[in-house]
Structure 1
Amino acid sequence: MKQLIRLSLFVVLGIGLWAFSRADQLFDLAKNLDIYASVIKELNQFYVDPIDPNKVVKNSIDGMLDQLDPYTVYYPEEDLDEFNTLTTGKYEGIGIRASWVDKGYYITYVDEDSPALQAGLQIGDQLLSINGVKITEDSDPGQLIKGPKDSKLTAEILRGEEKHSLTVQRSTVQIKNVGYSGIIRPGIGYIELEEFNQSATKEMKAALLQLKKDGMKQLILDLRNNPGGLLTQAVDICNLFLDKETPIVSTRGKLKEWNATYKALNPSWDNSLPMVVLINQNSASAAEIVAGVLQDYDRATIVGQRSFGKGLVQVTRDLPYRAKIKITTAKYYIPSGRCIQAIDYSENKDTVKQEFKTRKGRKVNAGGGIEPDVLVGRPQANSLIQQLLKERIFFQYARLYKLKQAKIAPAANFHLNDTEYEAFVQWVKASKFHYESPLEKQMRDVLKETSKDILYANLTKELDRLKPEWDSSVARELQGNKKVIEGLLEQEIVHHYYYKKGINEWSFEHDPTLLKSLELIKN
């Protein structure tokens, strides 16, 4: 009886403490909201210069959310186009991307089914003006290009030394989920899944059906560089390869009523098709769910590099005045019981790794992304390569290359010979590209310090004598890293001629991860 009384008192005390804690939290919230509103009011009335209430509040909300995680995001009404594009994969425009390169805005990507390509715009064209508005470094071409469906824009471009004026009719552009699909070796189908927006499963199933007609006996599913998207699409894509009622993913968060387990709702499309799934460090969220689930059920072999490690679920909530907020509400757990979240944002540290097992008893880890069954290291992007990419050197050279050569070999067969690569090296040497290796920087710092003290005069002389050994030579560095640089340059050149499809076809003969997967799937 005494134990029962103690237990009752403990429960009542616990509820009471929780109620007091909850009340304190609500009071603190109300108090701080009152203070915040007063600060805005005082600034608006007394600050020396006029303030923009929209900007001040947006910045303060962003600052608050920055304390949480990168995925909890506020969307004011004016940013709803971006939000809708993320969820639906649709936007109204012409299907290009442009970047500031050297001293101009250049088209760096053109969708192969876009109004832009149909109107004659090409990768490498410099945008001079849009609808008469001159393009400068401070311009935002994206805003100028956007507009209602069926409206027209006139783009003035520079291609080589020739100016052109092209009229393009805007339309609704659908961002494709399936970037490429095809038979890449006899009986081996390949699908590159780039997104998980609302039409992902529909596109995936259509690609599978066509590949089956074309003789597919085995499948390589490429999820590399896929940032994720809708959880429901990840579940439905897993369902294509898993039987009905198979548990796929569960979510757990603060509110128990939001906890859920998602199962396969339909009969599988094919539950025995041999599969390899490719992932890398940029495969995240929904892409990790698909890879992890198929790994947990031993349904596919995972090849590549460890994935990003985003195991957080977001829910969108409506706010006043058509604003929205995307809030992290839960973590997701795949069938083995593991959560792949890499960072604990509440404590700003890596999550603790734990060991789990697949259906057949293979060991897999949680906390840090999906670890591939077969690891294929990625080419190391050293400081030289990073600098070349940062300054868009490959893009600049590919643009000039295409102006000189109207045609090249088919994408799968394109390769730069030694003479052509040496021409690239000489072009870089003659350009404004400047590179200082980490070793050179360190040596220059040491030389600077030794020259200040007469006691180190002999060391200063010795460092000067050895300068040819540590002084960065762009030509030497380009030759020393030829294999990786040559591949990146070939891809960029192929992109200028054959667009995204060309990069895929080139990779079927050169991509180490893909070649390894072909080797595995044949066995």
Structure 2
Amino acid sequence: MEEKKVTIKLKRHLWEDERADRRRQNRLITMIVALMLVAGSLGFIVGRMEGIGNTQVETISHKRTKLERMQNIMNHKWYFSSMIDEVDQKMMDKAYYGMTSFEEDKHTSYMSQEEVELFTSHIDMGFVGIGVQYSEDNGSFVVQKVFKDSPAEKAGVLAGDVFIKVDGVSLEGLTSEEISKMVKGMKGTVVSIEFLRQGNPIIIDITRDEVNNTAYGYMLDEDTGYLEIYSFGSETGKETGVYLEDLNQKGMKNLIIDLRDNGGGYLNTLVDVASHFLQEDTLVIKQVYSNGHVENGYTKGNRIVYADRIVILINHQTASAAEVLALSLKEQYPNTILVGEKSYGKGTVQTTEYFEDGSALKYTTSKWTSPNGIWVNDLGGIEPDVAVKLHDYFYLKVPNLEESSSYEVDSVSDYAKVAQYALDYLGYQVLRKDGYFDVYFKDTLNQYKLEHNLETDGILNRKTLDSIISSVRKNINSDKKNDAQLMKAMEIIDGL
């Protein structure tokens, strides 16, 4: 979970000749030594220079000489140094990585500029596009979700529309990734998309814009709303508010909040979201610092939800800010029930400080507890009130199968194992699920291929595995009855 970001300056140096390299090298080494001393300190720096005697000066000098020698060797004697671009900067990055790597805290880390960009985009889930989510269905790409206030919604795109062409180019035979690249583009540009709606082709011109898609909501039935929160990004408070207002207008009496696979996000956003559910000045989170100081986070008075009952879905990937919200509502919103699986158990808060060169340091500042003082690290995660598991397929790590690789009878692989579990979930007869590719699995695989217009050659390749995985996603997304955890939540809502 992230606190407010702070920017500090650190100038990146470039070396143009040996003399300049040496001079700037010394500056960087001095900085490393200073940071190493801070990292190794057991107390706080209080701004006094007393007590630094000759022994400490000699120690610093020794460390500096050692680092100078090591960097000089790596720069000028190491065989591979001439083969690596910006080797100096990469060595410095490795020093930063090492300085911030501790077994005691896997959530503190140095991030390069590229990693910072990935980290931020992962939390905010933002991009420039039209704001839809679609899935493949027997070679066609069907819109599943149209996000609120998105360019697509404003232009009139509806769930169920089928992609036909983008800017006049047929999408037949293209992959989902290829279509995504065609739809996305520069902010303010127009993309012309031809859809098939109820059997009739329509062309819609959509102006691309920035899209945030960290939440999505709709009515499951006339009384029950469903709100899915993917991440606690910078705009999630606003996004959830829009969906909750819409659900209220549609007559919501009960609400299911889906926090499965939500890894957390920003601390201030957590408070924004909790404020939609609780009265103003309600305690949401306690931050406890190493010196014993406690900071409390309170709601802001933007309550929207007055539902009779709330069911929150959690799983093993529900973490950090998502766990805070689950516990806060469980403890303070009447008739709140947790359904699913034990959560991840991340009970610490991080702050990210950005440097002028685009890199950053993400470090732990405190631990958090629920309003009642529960620390999830002590529990190893939050236990649901009602435990419900999904099919075993959903607990497998899906490996990336290379385009050139394939598997057939009498082979063993994790790819076959994933395919076996997936086909079992889809209702096919699978006699073994250990990754061994026998003749019986070949027959099952060919049955799937025949039904999905794939060559029945008895071979598991990238195209086949992608198709199987896509079928699983379509199955659980298109028919909520296939989601055992959601079905249990609806049973609880209905009082069964």
Q: Normalising TM by the smaller chain, what interval? A: 0.5 to 0.7
Q: Is the 8 A contact 1:110 1:122 kept in 2?
A: no
Query: What is the CA-CA distance between 1:202 and the residue it aligns to?
Result: 1.0
Alignment of 1:337-356 (within 5 A): 337-341=373-377
Cα displacement string for residues 231-261 of structure 1 (whole angstroms, at most 9, x for unaligned residues): 111122222222222111111233667x421
Cα displacement string for residues 292-315 of structure 1 (whole angstroms, at most 9, x for unaligned residues): 111222531110000111111110
Q: When you count helix as a share of all residues, which structure comes out higher?
A: 1
Matched with 2:434 is 437
Secondary structure class of the residue paired with 2:278: coil
Question: Does 2:162 correspond to 1:125?
Answer: no
The 2-side partners of 1:305 and 1:340 are apart by 14
TM-score by length of 2: 0.60
Matched with 1:312 is 348
Question: Does 2:384 correspond to 1:372?
Answer: yes
Q: Which amino acid aligns with 1:437?
A: D
Secondary structure class of the residue paired with 2:245: helix
The 1-side partners of 2:354 and 2:380 are apart by 32
Secondary structure class of the residue paired with 1:220: strand
The 1-side partners of 2:185 and 2:99 are apart by 32
Query: What is the CA-CA distance between 1:26 and the residue it aligns to?
Result: 8.2
Matched with 2:309 is 274
Q: Is the 8 A contact 1:177 1:193 kept in 2?
A: yes
Query: What is the CA-CA distance between 1:81 and the residue it aligns to?
Result: 2.9
Question: Does 2:488 correspond to 1:521?
Answer: no
Q: Which amino acid aligns with 1:493?
A: S
The one of 227, 232, 240 aligned to 2:268: 232
Q: Is the 8 A contact 1:91 1:174 kept in 2?
A: yes
Secondary structure class of the residue paired with 2:357: helix
Q: Is the 8 A contact 2:151 2:207 kept in 1?
A: no
The 2-side partners of 1:74 and 1:318 are apart by 10
Secondary structure class of the residue paired with 2:218: strand
Secondary structure class of the residue paired with 1:322: coil
Q: Which amino acid aligns with 2:262?
A: N
The 2-side partners of 1:266 and 1:249 are apart by 16
Secondary structure class of the residue paired with 1:224: coil
* Residues 94 and 205 (structure 1), Cα distance of their counterparts in 2 relative to 1, 3 Å cut: closer
Secondary structure class of the residue paired with 1:227: coil
Matched with 2:215 is 178
The 1-side partners of 2:177 and 2:385 are apart by 49
Q: Is the 8 A contact 1:240 1:271 kept in 2?
A: no
Secondary structure class of the residue paired with 2:304: coil
Provide the aligned C-alpha RMSD in A: 5.0
The 2-side partners of 1:26 and 1:250 are apart by 39
* Residues 281 and 123 (structure 1), Cα distance of their counterparts in 2 relative to 1, 3 Å cut: farther
Q: Is the 8 A contact 1:92 1:170 kept in 2?
A: no
Which segment drifts farther, 246-255 or 329-338? 246-255
Query: What is the CA-CA distance between 1:289 and the residue it aligns to?
Result: 0.7
The 1-side partners of 2:485 and 2:219 are apart by 17
The 2-side partners of 1:277 and 1:127 are apart by 31
The 1-side partners of 2:257 and 2:434 are apart by 38
How many percent of aligned residue pairs carry the same amino acid?
A: 24
Matched with 2:479 is 506
* Residues 70 and 118 (structure 1), Cα distance of their counterparts in 2 relative to 1, 3 Å cut: farther
Matched with 1:286 is 321
The 1-side partners of 2:111 and 2:170 are apart by 32
Cα displacement string for residues 500-523 of structure 1 (whole angstroms, at most 9, x for unaligned residues): xx854422x221111111111112
Matched with 2:76 is 45
* Residues 376 and 316 (structure 1), Cα distance of their counterparts in 2 relative to 1, 3 Å cut: same
Matched with 2:457 is none
Query: What is the CA-CA distance between 1:62 and the residue it aligns to?
Result: 2.6
The 1-side partners of 2:231 and 2:91 are apart by 34
Matched with 1:60 is 95
TM-score by length of 1: 0.57
Which segment drifts farther, 116-125 or 62-71? 116-125
The 2-side partners of 1:39 and 1:296 are apart by 55
Secondary structure class of the residue paired with 2:489: helix
Q: Is the 8 A contact 2:283 2:296 kept in 1?
A: yes
Unpaired runs of 5+ in structure 2? 1-42, 134-140, 153-162, 192-204, 407-422, 447-465
Q: Is the 8 A contact 1:89 1:198 kept in 2?
A: no
The one of 446, 466, 474 aligned to 2:441: 474
